[in-house]
């Protein structure tokens, strides 16, 4: 790896430097000769992936401008992109936005309608990736798949690079200071001192400090006061050993999460980006099966179903398996959600099947219970939004679950997790990390902007986050389930378990960015691309990350190469 | 047309190291995609392609960083870089804004380049450069994430720069112990250099003292096509056409390149005669096509009786300061270090500097003496 370029974010092997330079020269010449619509299509039509892989990026642009029949084609592209008219079309997009008046709308040539149903849907029928089965080959799909294939064929080296980066990245502490007022600083100081006292097991001092925090917090304003209050409460619980009961009804926590969903864009981003990856993976499939590791109120699925319904050639038949915790009052919450989704499916004309599974832990699941159909028959997507980190509380659990996922032979696995390091061995470090993280999160909730969240959504969101804070700070052992880890740590884990990354591209990035414009404090929210994954953050601090995975081709017995598996339907 | 392209490509390849060539060519081609002929900018793709790095409160090679929101209404953020004192292995939140220690601690207000449209304070190339400046100048560096064109044209970038200057000047923790004042220098490359000049004008008007301006390949222009623009058009990564595009994106509608923001000593420029303008160090790359405008800027300052040091780097192209793999890089870092340190000795008899063995000599000397304070002149 060229070290100087690596520091600047570009991974180029030293042995590839001359080749990359040559490709850049070629690209410049081709761009110079291309007509203006060629350039503009490269800009607005082509989906770009992983700019850190400079060689791959330049190559993919060369390929877009030059079908392999020309002399400039690289030998690594085998599938002909037969129809240049189809090549630039964007993949089907799903979003919950209203684009009226936006420039982008005319580019997409799409119609938008507002659906005022419970799920607040607005779908944009984009140009879908799926083509009629009677058409031979699928040019643009294959060009997109090519991108995935070439990135996975180089994934072994990328994996090494990513793992190498992982050990460096783990010690990164991104900090955005949101409150420099003296009172704020003193408050933080006291919180830290208290946490330190707890760590030293000096409970007398800790007790005194906790009371002091209460006084300081009262004179503070805004996000900092709320954050400090939650952290102080959590510290108090830890000191006095009054541990919070996690047995609070899951329906209550689902409701809290729904308000959080409404108040800020993090969960919407999660659902949106995961759905985008799932939609692309389902291209060409007639039967699809989504396994949702945390169904809750099923808020992720209407948008996906809508997008599937609008696929040219018609929707696939859609099966959803929703997993959830047991309900104390024995109501079948899962079935209720399934029923609502079934009603939606009927109105939009999608063949729908639902199964709910109650499990205390994902580790209790056996793949055989889920009645998975073979990959040739049905494409499977496994979706986990903020669920995997909980498994880290019990030894062996995550390994079991990852192994189960592999047994489900998924076409794609989407993982969304908090971008935070809340699972380190040292309490004080966890405390500090969490303080930074939740300070930023609460600050984003305050946001000034066009449409601030309703006060009820705001309040419930704060309670939702407060419970997480409590768990991170006051609990230990199997009780401490909010064991958030960073994207680089998850990358390591997924890679070791036999998964290859599936990169999210510039189309998902763009749509996600546009999604943010609708939210209060829109300016503060930022989407970032990170080696094929997408992260949403507040200002420069990423707070949530979406990654997508497929089985390493060695593990997939139905395909002979990564590119073949993309065409398995 | 294709033929002359080939000539151009191999020319630029001869004057810069391979990794620099790859880096800057990559930017050039990516940027070509982002600028639309109708004057709009593909911001989403730009943000997708830009390689960014997070702030890091853990010291890396003796420098740690954190981001601060300076103005919520405009989402104005700055990244602060500080030397790790070594007392605390991992600075905690309180350490971040701990008062600086030292009689004189220079504070560098940094404006990244990108022709007013590209890059951010958290772009990897600029994060790296700022980290270097901390070590080189023993300074605290504040990198301003100013609003960019075409969405936010003139005067947004200047307003943000001015807001950042006021903020820095009013931080108690940035005051040098000697005189309880903040010792401010402003540094900028390309559009950042242009911002430095314009913020300095504001500073003078408002009585905030700036101790020095450092402009690296500053972005200036004018209606006239100068000799250097015609001679070097398209030869070293930059074209007249792209320069025109960026000025159209930044300048107010209907204005031409003789607007004072673009051409400070042109027909609409302001006179600096009699002003207590900060001393300036202007670095000009010999293969930069806008050098005639940069030289005109230096002349303009001189004619107005202002103190200016002009550093002309014969064979340097744009972006030479992004990678530490060439002589010019070391020459300039050395100059900057001298300029900012309090024992800076004035020398206005400048012209070209021979760069030949400078890099080698510099490295040998650094190894022997182990310090930055050795002056070359």
pLDDT at B242 (0 to 100): 96
Torsion on CA atoms B71, B77, B79, B80, rounded to nearest 10: 0
In the DSSP assignment, the letter for residue B252 is: P
Average pLDDT over residues A85-101: 35
A553, A558, A560, A563: CA torsion to nearest 10: -70
pLDDT value of position B365: 46
Q: At what angle do helices A427-446 and A182-199 cross, to 10 degrees?
A: 150
**Chain B from 34 to 93: CB within 8 A of any A CB:** 34, 36-37, 40, 42, 44-45, 47-49, 51-58, 66-69, 72-75, 77, 79, 90, 92-93
* Inter-chain residue contact B1 with A32, CB threshold 8 Å: yes
Q: Rounded mean pLDDT of B152-163?
A: 97
Residue B177: Cβ within 10 Å count: 12
Confidence label for A45 from pLDDT (cuts 50, 70 and 90): confident
A349-353, A399-403, A549-553, B307-311: segment of lowest average pLDDT: A549-553
Contact assessment for residue A437 and residue A420, using Cβ atoms and an 8 Å cutoff: yes
Q: What per-residue confidence (pLDDT) applies to B353?
A: 40
Contacts of B26 in chain A (CB under 8 A): 10, 24, 54, 58
Share of chain A above pLDDT 70, in %: 75
Segment A27-49 mean pLDDT:
82
CA distance B64 to B82: 6
- Decide if A9 touches B, using CB distance below 8 A: yes
Inter-chain contact B48–A510, Cβ cutoff 8 Å? yes
Q: CA A103 to CA A555: how far, in whole Å?
A: 44
Q: How far is CA B292 from CA A80, B297, B350, in A?
A: 49, 9, 17
Spatial separation of the C-alpha atoms in residues A558 and A568, rounded to whole Å: 8
pLDDT in tens, A384-415: 999 999 999 999 999 999 999 999 999 999 99
Q: How far is CA A506 from CA A93, A129, A405, B119, B212, in A?
A: 12, 15, 27, 17, 41
Q: Which of B167, B53, B161, B168 is nearest to B111 (CA)?
A: B161
pLDDT of residue B68: 94
CA torsion through residues B214, B218, B222, B226, sign:
positive
Residue B1: the pLDDT is: 45
pLDDT at A82 over 50: no
A114: its two tokens: 């507002």
Chain B hits for A29, CB-CB cut-off 8 Å, are 2, 5-6, 9
The per-residue pLDDT of chain A, averaged, comes to 79
Work out the angle at residue B67's Cα, subtended by the Cα atoms of residues B62 and B72, and round it to the nearest 5 degrees.
165
DSSP 8-state symbol, A47: P
Cβ of B21 within 8 Å of Cβ of A173? The answer is no
Q: Which residue of A has its CA nearest to B49?
A: A51
Statement: residue A321 has pLDDT above 70: yes
Whether residue A338 contacts residue A358, with contact meaning beta carbons closer than 8 Å, is answered with no
pLDDT of residue A157 exceeding 60, the answer is no
Nearest neighbour of B2 by CB, restricted to A29, A40, A435? A29
Residue holding tokens 């070629």? Answer: A26
When CB atoms are compared, the residue of A24, A44, A177 closest to B66 is A177
Backbone CA torsion sign across A549, A555, A558, A560: positive
Which is more confident, A246 or A569? A246
Measured between beta carbons, the chain A residues lying within 8 angstroms of B67 are 174-177, 539-541
**CATH architecture, range A250-419+484-506+544-568:** 3-Layer(aba) Sandwich (3.40)
Q: Please state the rounded mean pLDDT for residues A286-290.
A: 96
Asked if residue A143 has pLDDT above 60, the reply is no
In order, the DSSP letters of B87-149 are SSSS--HHHHTPPP-SS--EEEEEE--STTTS--TTBHHHHHHHHHHHHHHT-EEEEEE---T
Of the pLDDT bands very low, low, confident and very high (cuts 50, 70, 90), residue A112 is very low
* Residue B363 burial (10 A CB sphere; 0-12, 13-18, 19+): exposed
State the smallest CA–CA distance between residue B233 and chain A in angstroms: 15
> Chain B partners of A27 at a C-beta cutoff of 8 Å?
29
Considering only CA atoms, give the Rg of chain A: 24
Of the listed ranges A249-258, A331-340, B8-17, B103-112, the least confidently predicted one is B8-17
Closest residue in B to A51 (Cα) is B49
Average pLDDT, chain B: 88
Per-residue confidence band for B352, with pLDDT thresholds at 50, 70 and 90: very low
pLDDT attached to residue B95? 75
| CB-based contact A238:A473 (threshold 8 Å) | yes
The CA R_g of chain B, rounded to the nearest whole Å, is 20
Domain ranges in chain A are 1-79+132-176, 92-128+178-242+426-470, 250-419+484-506+544-568
Q: CATH for B23-343, among 2.40.10.220, 3.40.50.300, 3.40.50.1820, 3.40.50.720?
A: 3.40.50.1820
Check A8 against B2: CB less than 8 A apart: no
Nearest to A270 by CA among A418, A434, A438: A418
Nearest to B93 among A43, A188, A506 (CB): A188
CA angle A225, A229, A234 (to 5 degrees): 150
Contacts of A58 in chain B (CB under 8 A): 26, 29
Whole-number pLDDT of residue B87: 63
Active site residues of B: 190, 288
Domain ranges of chain B: 23-343
- The pLDDT of residue A562 is 43
Confidence at residue B223, expressed as pLDDT on a 0 to 100 scale: 96
Whole-number Å distance between alpha carbons of A447 and A544: 18
Q: Which two tokens stand for residue A367?
A: 């793949």
Task: Please count the residue pairs, one from chain A and one from chain B, whose beta carbons lie less than 8 angstroms apart.
Answer: 171
Q: Is the pLDDT of residue A428 over 60?
A: yes
Q: Compute CA B233 distance to the chain's CA centroid, rounded to the nearest angstrom.
A: 22
| Interface contact B142, partner A, CB < 8 A | no
User: Would you say A244 and A467 are in contact if contact means Cβ atoms under 8 Å apart?
Assistant: yes
Residue A332's pLDDT band (boundaries 50, 70, 90)? confident
A431 near A195, Cβ under 8 Å? Answer: yes
Cα A196 → chain centroid: 34
Strand partners, B80: B66, B142
Interface test with A, best of B14, B20, B45 (most A CBs within 10 A): B45
Q: Is 90 exceeded by the pLDDT of residue A556?
A: no
pLDDT band at B376 (very low <50, low <70, confident <90, very high): very low
Q: Tens digit of pLDDT for each residue in A172-208?
A: 888 888 766 777 788 888 999 999 999 999 999 999 9
Q: How far is A70 from chain B (nearest CA, A)?
A: 17
Nearest residue of B to residue A6, measured between CA atoms:
B124
Q: Is B238:B27 a contact under the CB 8 Å cutoff?
A: no
* Rounded distance between C-alpha atoms, residue B331 and residue B338, angstroms: 11
Interface of B with A in 224-283 (CB under 8 A): none
pLDDT-derived band of residue B119, with 50, 70 and 90 as boundaries? very high
Higher pLDDT, A434 or A135: A434
Is A58's CB within 8 Å of B44's CB?
Answer: no
Q: B152 at the A interface (CB within 8 A)? A: no
The per-residue pLDDT for A180 is 67
pLDDT tens-digit series, residues B169-220: 999 999 999 899 999 999 999 999 999 999 999 999 999 999 999 999 999 9
A540 reaches B (C-beta below 8 A): yes
For testing contact with chain B, the best of A2, A6, A8 (most B CBs within 10 A): A8
Question: Which tens digits make up the pLDDT trace of A453-494?
Answer: 788 889 999 999 999 999 999 999 999 999 999 999 999 999
The verdict on a CB contact (< 8 Å) between A510 and B44 is: yes
Q: Which residue of B has its CA nearest to A543?
A: B54
Q: Can you tell me the distance from the alpha carbon of B143 to that of A256, in angstroms, rounded to the nearest whole number?
A: 39
Nearest residue in chain A measured CA to CA from B26 = A24
Kindly state the average pLDDT of the residues A564-569.
38
Q: ipTM value, please give it.
A: 0.85
Of B33, B68, B322, the CB nearest to A42: B33
Q: Is the per-residue pLDDT at B282 higher than 90?
A: yes
- Contact residues, A window 75-104, toward B, CB-based 8 Å cutoff: 103
Euclidean distance between the first and the last CA atom of chain A, given in angstroms as a whole number: 38
CB A511 within 8 A of CB A93: yes
Q: What's the average model confidence in pLDDT over A73-102?
A: 36
Which residue does chain B place closest to A186, by CA atoms?
B94
Measured distance between the N- and C-terminal CA atoms of chain B, rounded to whole angstroms: 46
């Amino acid at each position: 790896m060229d070290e100087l370029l690596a520091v600047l974010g570009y991974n180029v092997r030293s042995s590839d430097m001359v080749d990359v330079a040559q490709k850049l020269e070629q690209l410049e010449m081709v761009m110079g000769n291309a007509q203006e619509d060629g350039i503009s299509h490269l800009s607005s039509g082509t989906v770009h992936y992983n700019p850190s892989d400079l060689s791959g990026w330049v190559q993919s642009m060369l390929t877009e401008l030059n079908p392999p029949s020309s002399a400039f084609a690289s030998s690594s592209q085998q599938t002909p992109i037969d129809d240049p008219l189809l090549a630039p079309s964007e993949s089907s997009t799903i979003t919950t936005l209203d684009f009226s008046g936006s420039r982008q709308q005319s580019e997409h040539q799409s119609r938008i309608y507002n659906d005022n149903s419970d799920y607040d849907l607005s779908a944009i029928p984009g140009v879908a990736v799926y083509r009629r089965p009677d058409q031979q080959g699928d040019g643009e799909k294959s060009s997109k798949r090519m991108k995935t294939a070439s990135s996975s064929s180089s994934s072994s080296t990328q994996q090494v690079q990513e793992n190498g980066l992982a050990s460096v990245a783990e010690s990164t502490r991104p900090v955005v200071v949101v409150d420099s007022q003296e009172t704020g600083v003193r408050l933080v100081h006291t919180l830290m001192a208290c946490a330190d006292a707890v760590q030293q097991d000096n409970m007398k001092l800790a007790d005194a400090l906790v009371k002091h925090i209460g006084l300081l917090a009262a004179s503070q304003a805004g996000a900092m006061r709320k954050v400090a209050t939650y952290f102080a409460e959590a510290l108090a619980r830890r000191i006095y050993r009054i541990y919070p009961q996690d047995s609070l009804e899951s329906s209550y926590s689902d409701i809290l999460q729904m308000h959080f969903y409404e108040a800020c864009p993090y969960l919407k981003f999660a659902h949106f980006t995961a759905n985008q990856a799932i939609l692309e993976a389902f291209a060409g499939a007639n039967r699809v099966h989504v396994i949702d590791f945390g169904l809750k109120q099923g808020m992720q699925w209407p948008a996906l179903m809508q997008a599937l319904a609008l696929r040219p050639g018609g929707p696939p038949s859609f099966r959803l398996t929703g997993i959830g915790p047991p309900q104390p009052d024995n109501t079948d919450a899962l079935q209720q959600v399934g029923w609502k989704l079934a009603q939606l499916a009927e109105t939009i004309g999608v063949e729908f099947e639902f199964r709910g599974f109650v499990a205390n832990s994902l580790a209790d699941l056996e793949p055989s219970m889920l009645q998975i159909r073979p990959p040739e028959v049905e494409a499977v997507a496994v979706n986990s939004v903020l669920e995997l980190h909980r498994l880290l509380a019990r030894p062996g659990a995550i390994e079991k679950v990852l192994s189960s996922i592999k047994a489900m032979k998924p076409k794609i696995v989407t993982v969304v997790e908090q971008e935070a390091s809340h699972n380190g061995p040292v309490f004080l470090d966890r405390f500090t990390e969490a303080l930074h993280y939740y300070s930023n999160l609460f600050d984003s909730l305050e946001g000034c902007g066009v449409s601030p969240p309703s006060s009820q959504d705001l309040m419930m969101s704060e309670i939702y986050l407060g419970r997480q804070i409590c768990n991170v700070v006051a609990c230990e052992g199997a009780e401490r389930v909010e064991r958030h880890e960073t994207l680089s740590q998850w990358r390591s884990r997924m890679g070791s378990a036999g998964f290859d990354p599936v990169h999210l591209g510039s189309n998902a990035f763009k749509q996600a960015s546009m999604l943010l414009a609708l939210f209060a404090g829109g300016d503060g929210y930022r989407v970032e691309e990170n080696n094929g994954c997408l992260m949403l953050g507040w200002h420069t601090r990423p707070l949530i990350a979406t990654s997508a995975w497929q089985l390493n081709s060695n593990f997939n017995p139905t395909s002979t190469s990564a590119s073949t598996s993309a065409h398995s339907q | 047309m294709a033929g002359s392209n080939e000539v151009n490509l191999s020319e630029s390849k001869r004057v810069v190291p391979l990794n620099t060539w790859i880096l800057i060519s990559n930017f050039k081609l990516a940027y070509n995609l982002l600028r639309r002929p109708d004057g709009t900018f593909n911001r989403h793709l730009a943000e997708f392609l830009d390689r960014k790095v997070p702030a890091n409160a853990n010291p890396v090679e003796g420098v740690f960083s954190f981001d601060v929101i300076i103005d919520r209404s405009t989402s104005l953020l700055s990244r602060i870089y500080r030397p790790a004192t070594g007392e605390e292995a991992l600075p905690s939140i309180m350490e971040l804004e701990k008062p600086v220690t030292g009689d004189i601690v220079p504070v560098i207000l940094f404006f990244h380049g990108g022709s007013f449209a590209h890059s951010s304070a958290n772009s990897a190339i600029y994060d790296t450069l700022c980290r270097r400046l901390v070590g080189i100048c023993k300074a605290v560096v504040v990198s301003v994430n100013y609003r960019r064109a075409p969405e936010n044209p003139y005067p947004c970038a200047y307003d943000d720069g001015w807001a950042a200057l006021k903020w820095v000047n009013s931080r108690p923790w940035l005051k040098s112990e000697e005189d309880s004042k903040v010792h401010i220098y402003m540094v900028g490359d390309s559009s950042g250099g242009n911002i430095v000049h314009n913020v300095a004008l504001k500073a003078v008007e408002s009585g905030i003292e700036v101790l020095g301006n450092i402009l690296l390949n500053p972005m200036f222009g004018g209606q006239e096509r100068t000799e250097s623009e015609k001679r070097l058009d398209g030869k070293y990564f930059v074209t007249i056409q792209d320069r025109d595009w960026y000025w159209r994106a930044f300048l107010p509608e209907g204005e031409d390149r003789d607007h004072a923001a673009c051409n400070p000593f042109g027909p609409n420029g302001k006179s600096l005669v009699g002003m207590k303008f900060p001393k300036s160090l202007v670095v000009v790359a010999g293969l930069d096509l806008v050098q005639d405008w940069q030289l005109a800027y230096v002349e303009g300052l001189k004619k107005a009786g202002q103190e200016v040091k002009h550093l002309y780097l014969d064979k340097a192209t744009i972006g030479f300061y992004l990678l530490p793999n060439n002589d010019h890089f070391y020459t300039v870092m050395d100059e900057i270090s001298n300029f900012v340190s309090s024992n800076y000795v004035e020398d206005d008899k400048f012209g070209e500097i021979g760069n030949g063995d400078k890099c080698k000599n510099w490295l040998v000397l650094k190894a022997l003496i182990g310090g930055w304070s050795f002056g070359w002149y």
